[in-house]
Structure 1
Amino acid sequence: MKSKDSEKIDLFAEEVSACPFSAYKEIRDSGRVYQEPRYGNYVLTHHDDIQSLKNDQVFDSRHGVDPAGRFSASTYPDINRTDPPRHSKIKAFLYKSFSPQAVQSWEDDIHKIFVEHFDDMARDHSEQSFDIVHHVCYPAPAAVICRMLGFSDDRRDDFERWSAALVERLGTDISEDQRNALVEMARFIRLKAEEKSETPGKDLMTEIVFAEVDGERLSPEEVVANGVFFLAAGHETTANFLSNFTVQIATIPGLFESLKNDRSLLKPALEETLRLESPVQNICRTVKEEVLIDETVIHEDDRMMFSLGAGNRDPEVFENPEDFDLSRGNLNQHLAFGYGHHQCLGARLARLEGEIYANILLDRFDKIELAEGYKRQPGNVMRGYKSLNIKCS
């Protein structure tokens, strides 16, 4: 049974998406399924229900994963919009770039990249007040994924503009400028794919170009779509993760000092940040066959929205879910990186970047505070900051 008040909640309204957690709670408390009024998606907010994502017999991704139901596999056939068994075969081929050994081999390079960005920030801002997203949280992960793809990061401004266009069109109307940015990004990836085809390297873009499924190479459209996906997803979600972590250590009393004095608490702190402030809040699937959820019939071709952010605050799974708790024993149950076949391939890389970033912050500073001025990512799909001013001493 859905409450009358919960029926009115527009999860895409700016005032709701800015801080959606009370809305998630109201919807979750009202029942297992809720149809949001903006796009008509059926929303799942309970942790156990969200885990049904693994059932590829019922839900598909090829019709698009954004709440507005645009950008399907026919237009953007990347790995995120491809269903098993093809998805599993592509993922297995690309896994070598994200295996534990592969990610660990990047640790020294990633540390160097982050140190360089912190050093640049220190030179530019001797007054110790700066936009940490502009200087580190965004450009450092961008430099990392560019290097992994085999790209130079000298077009940082373009990467930022293109990725912003990808993020801002999720669950919102898309402007002509954003469409043009996406076309530019695809053109850039297409040129890079041609270069790698002629002169292969030991990099992720080469892996994408030469990836095979059942003995056949990916189509040119799949190559471009996956290049776009990894370039954007490879740093946007990590940038959100890092900025969200920064806010936690700057605002929770005693947290910064505890982590500085005891680094064994760092991994739980990063995982608790992922749980409480998931970089990706909501993802969508299309129903392939009729399904019954809590007396609600969901028909074939209806859209389901899996609210990872709500599931991560489900009191049936996480005791006192609104609290930042370093002693929480089941942090590995959070859904921040998705679930099932589409669990994030880059989760291990994001965690490593989080540890490196956090350790540098803790090594360099004795105190971090928020300064005036911040801007959140728009919409209710991604959660993070486009700008975040902090003071350090």
Structure 2
Amino acid sequence: MFTNAITSPSISMPNLKMNFLLTVLYKSTTVLNQVLKVFFCYCLITISLLSCEYRIDQTNLAKNPDLAENRSKDTKNQVEKKFVTIIAAGDIMMGTTYPSSLLPPNDGKEILDSVKSYLRGGDIVIGNLEGPLLDKGGHPKRCIDKFGNLSRNCHSFRVPERYGAYLKNAGFNYMCLANNHANDMGTPGKKSTMRVLDSLGFKYSGLLTNPIAIIEKEELKIGVAAFSPNNGTVSINDHRNAKKIVSELKKSCNIVIVTFHGGGEGTSFQNVKDRQEYYLNENRGNVYRFSRDVIDAGADLVIGHGPHVTRSLDYYKGKLIAYSLGNFCTYGKFGLGGEFGIAPILQVKLTSSGEFVSGNIVPIKQINRGFPVPDDKKRAIKTLQRLLKQDFPESNLVIRDNGELTVTAQ
């Protein structure tokens, strides 16, 4: 006898798990689709609103020009917040091979080591190069006295070309070539100097062939013009031409710096006066009037060299003037006693449009025949304080004992 048995189909565990996973995946996909739909709708609404806002904004600007002007001012103000730091030192002659070799120990490799920290970090670091960079040869200049005879008061220098790297390593990036030593070795000296400076990335100006330099820092342009009373340089005595150069430079630059080599030499010429200055039968300019004229033409900072002693600072129409930064590094051939052996390093901060923000004086002295080092006695600061009181007693520029430069309200 046979019995008909009815049995239920068996469901294996792997199949059960697969069905469960497919169900979860289906529901997740459904939820994800809903989220994507909501997100897509949100994006469409946001883009529509921004588009409407833009059209409304443009309509408002068209109807209200003052609004557009204010926005332009806001953008300019954002640029205005940027600052430019200018550092300047005085006369530089690190050693010479003419008429005989007189070079520092160890070939001068450490001559600027003690002051590097005060030079590095500036957007523009300025020096006055008193002597061409030339290894050999050249055509030494001949100096004629007022009687038409060869003068014994004639100093010509020839600085080894490799010394240019010492300036670069110390932090300098601009050299003033407008001075009475630019032509010490004639055309070969000038060509060699420019070649060496170009190879090191320096900017320079002051020669008739190179009257100006433009230095670019991010979106800012800083123009530097240099002047002196000497042949082959842009004349400090032609004020009309100087003002034209400065005003044209200002049209293309945010900031314009003027540096000059002018005025008589030594302590008898240390005070600044509104007068034409003559030295060794040479008309060395009216530096007081010249500085004011170039500021009136658009200069934002004026830096002087030449007298081999520190001269006063001045403040004219919101612009700083340094009439002479003295001897910075002048090895071997220069007398360094008293005022000749001390000098300031000038540090100045300007706005991107050239307005004076702050300043500082680092006092230095020269030791071992011409090595600049910090001066703990701060004599250059004391000299500047004394000269400011003597020459410009009504100035609202203040030189504090720590070297800080501030301006009081007029």
Structure number with the higher helix fraction is 1
Give the alignment's TM-score, normalised by structure 2. Answer: 0.22
- Which structure has the highest strand share of the two? 2
Q: Taking structure 1 as the reference length, what is the TM-score of the superposition?
A: 0.23
Higher RCO (CA-CA < 8 Å; seq separation 6+): 1
